[in-house]
């Protein structure tokens, strides 16, 4: 890099955050938020199951699958054997999330260091949008033979979405430091300014993350409503869902234009000397994992979050497939169900913040309460084995911050391949998707007991001790 380019980069990074630039960043979540809210949560699981069923066979593996009967049980070729058509959808999503987690780690250094953040953000987003649109190319006349292609597109598009989101999140610390309020507070240099700076950092980071999330929800709602229109216009066929999914990719592609125009290529620090851009992120993960042996309270929380995140993410996919296969919900009913979820999520965010402040609850207590309520849904579905209710009819359906944040993200994203994998195995073995709710119930209940044992103050004390130990060690090596 030339000296002139270095100087130009430095000037850009020192510029205060502008409203135009922040809008460009928010709009990226307007663009790709539809993939999370609509595509991978609703459209793709149903499309994968439908295409697999169309190409599948009855349990004798010879008679073509009859999808016109209720509660059909069919299998489809997957690798060297046959799997239940619902399991096929879960297996594909599990594989996509596994590769997504690997890519997440590999992209970490590219997101945190150097001056290619915007380039990689847009590259992965454009590819992801195009791959999502490519589902429209699996025409009904050939879809029976190309169900595997839908699986490949799912893996690739989900990987691109995950990678783009890594670069998207990497802007938050940079924007916090470039925010006019933050720069003004640093210039004032008042007493207790360090405490005030930390507080402002938390407030700004929370504001950026929550606002982008809300805009992603809004965009997802719009695409889901459009999906209903497309589905109704084309008589609720599988291809109508593929067109709705393709529309979400087109939406992603169009809105990226504003991000490309308005987003500034702010850079991170240079990669440490003698470090390789490929190996460095893996070394960081190993270092972070090694350090956690001194931080038992932190490890307990991460394990709990690993299980809880996996249970929640898998629950969404299982509920969609369960609604289609066992409750016989139409595509429009599934989309209406999906529309309600983000609305309830937005209400829940503010409702539980109000409850937390009103009852002066700690974050630890709030997580335990929320985990308990999450566990009610799989428990309710399990009751359907013995009782005349329990989801048996569709009428029932109403300094080291960056390292540990990276580890937290890995547990949240990477864990989501375990849930779909295990539920796929359970469904494939029992031929009943309802049995997977037993596993989900365990995933959601165990974290309650783990988090209950977490001592937040002890964890904070351990972190301070660990930092002091590392500073002493670094001083000896100087």
Condensed to tens digits (0 to 9), the pLDDT of residues 71-107 reads 788 889 888 888 888 888 888 988 888 888 788 777 7
Cα first-last separation, the chain: 29
Asked if the structure places residue 225 within a domain, the reply is yes
Q: Tell me, what's the pLDDT at 374? A: 73
In a domain, 319, yes or no: yes
Residue 23 has a pLDDT of 94
Distance separating alpha carbons of residues 237 and 50, to the nearest angstrom: 10
Are residues 29 and 215 in contact, defined by beta-carbon separation less than 8 angstroms? yes
Task: Count the residues in the chain.
Answer: 478
Q: How far apart are CA 141 and CA 238, in angstroms?
A: 12
Does the predicted model carry a pTM greater than 0.75?
yes
- For the domain that residue 302 is a member of, what is the CATH number? 1.20.1250.20
Average pLDDT score over the chain: 77
Range of the domain at 417: 17-477
Q: Could you tell me which residues come within 8 angstroms of residue 48 by beta carbon, excluding any fewer than 6 positions away?
A: 88, 89, 92, 93, 147, 150, 151, 154
Residue 126 in any domain: the answer is yes
* 276 pLDDT tier (thresholds 50, 70, 90): confident
Tell me the C-alpha to C-alpha distance, in Å, between residue 199 and each of 184, 185, 204, 226, 400: 14, 11, 9, 41, 17
**Residue 326 to residues 11, 86, 263, 389, 470, Cα–Cα distance (Å):** 59, 11, 46, 13, 55
Q: At 365, is the pLDDT very low, low, confident or very high (cuts 50, 70, 90)?
A: confident
Q: Is pLDDT of 194 > 50?
A: yes
Cα–Cα–Cα angle for 426, 432, 437, rounded to 5 degrees:
60
How many other CB atoms sit within 10 Å of the CB of residue 468? 10
* Token pair recorded at residue 368: 């335990």
Q: Where are the alpha helices (DSSP H) in 385-433?
A: 401-414, 418-430
pLDDT of residue 253: 97
pLDDT digits over 395-441, tens only? 333 344 444 444 444 444 544 567 667 777 777 777 776 777 787 78
DSSP states of 137-201: GS-TTTGGG-HHHHHHHHHHHHHHHHHHHHHHHTHHHHHHHHSHHHHHHHHH--TTHHHHHHHHH
Total structural domains in the chain? 1
Crossing angle between the packed helical segments 363-382 and 331-359, to the nearest 10 degrees: 150
What is the pLDDT, as a whole number, of residue 62? 87
- Inform me whether the pLDDT recorded for 246 exceeds 90: yes
Q: What is the pLDDT of residue 456?
A: 67
CA dist 207 → 155, 212, 268, 355, 402 (Å) = 31, 8, 21, 19, 18
Q: What percent of the chain has pLDDT over 70?
A: 78
**Does 201 map to a domain?**
yes
Task: Specify if 12 maps to a domain.
Answer: no
Mean pLDDT to the nearest integer, 245-258: 96
């Amino acid at each position: 890099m030339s000296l002139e380019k270095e100087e130009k980069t430095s000037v850009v990074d020192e510029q205060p955050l502008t409203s135009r630039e922040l809008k460009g960043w928010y709009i990226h979540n307007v663009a790709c938020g539809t993939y999370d809210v609509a595509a991978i949560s609703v459209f793709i699981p149903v499309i994968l199951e439908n295409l697999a069923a169309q190409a599948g066979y009855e349990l004798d593996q010879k008679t073509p699958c009859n999808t016109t009967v209720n509660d059909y049980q069919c299998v489809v070729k997957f690798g060297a054997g046959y799997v239940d058509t619902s399991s096929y959808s879960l297996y594909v999503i599990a594989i996509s999330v596994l590769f997504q987690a690997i890519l997440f780690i590999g992209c970490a250094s590219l997101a945190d260091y150097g001056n290619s953040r915007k380039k990689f953000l847009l590259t992965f987003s454009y590819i992801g949008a195009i791959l999502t649109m490519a589902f429209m190319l699996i025409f009904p006349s050939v879809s029976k033979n190309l169900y595997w292609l839908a699986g490949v597109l799912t893996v690739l598009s989900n990987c691109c979405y995950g990678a783009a989101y890594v670069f998207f999140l990497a802007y938050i610390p940079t924007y916090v430091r470039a925010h006019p309020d933050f720069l003004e507070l640093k210039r004032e240099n008042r007493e207790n300014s360090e405490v005030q700076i930390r507080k402002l950092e938390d407030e700004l980071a929370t504001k950026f993350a929550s606002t982008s999330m809300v805009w992603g929800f809004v965009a997802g709602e719009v695409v889901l409503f459009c999906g209903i229109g497309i589905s109704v216009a084309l008589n609720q066929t599988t291809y109508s869902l593929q067109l709705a999914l393709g529309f979400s990719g087109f939406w992603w592609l169009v809105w990226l234009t504003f991000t490309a125009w308005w987003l500034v290529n702010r850079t991170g620090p240079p990669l440490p000397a003698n470090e390789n851009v490929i190996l460095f992120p893996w070394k960081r993960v190993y270092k972070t994992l090694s350090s956690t042996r001194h931080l038992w309270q932190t490890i307990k929380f991460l394990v709990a979050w690993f299980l809880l995140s996996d249970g929640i993410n898998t629950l969404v996919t299982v509920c969609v497939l369960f609604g289609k296969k066992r409750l016989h919900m139409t595509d429009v009913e599934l989309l209406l169900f999906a529309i309600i979820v983000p609305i309830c999520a937005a209400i829940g965010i503010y409702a539980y913040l109000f409850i937390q402040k009103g009852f002066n609850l700690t974050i630890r207590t709030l997580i335990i309460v929320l985990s308990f309520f999450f566990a009610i849904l799989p428990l309710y579905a399990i009751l359907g084995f013995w009782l005349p209710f329990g989801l048996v009819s569709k009428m029932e359906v109403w300094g080291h911050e960056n390292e540990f944040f990276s580890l937290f993200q890995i547990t949240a994203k990477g864990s989501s391949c375990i849930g779909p994998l295990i539920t796929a195995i359970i469904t494939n073995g029992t031929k009943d998707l309802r049995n997977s709710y037993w596993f989900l119930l365990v995933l959601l209940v165990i974290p309650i007991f783990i988090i209950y044992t977490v001592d937040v103050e002890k964890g904070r004390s351990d972190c301070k001790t660990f930092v002091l130990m590392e500073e002493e060690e670094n001083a000896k090596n100087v």
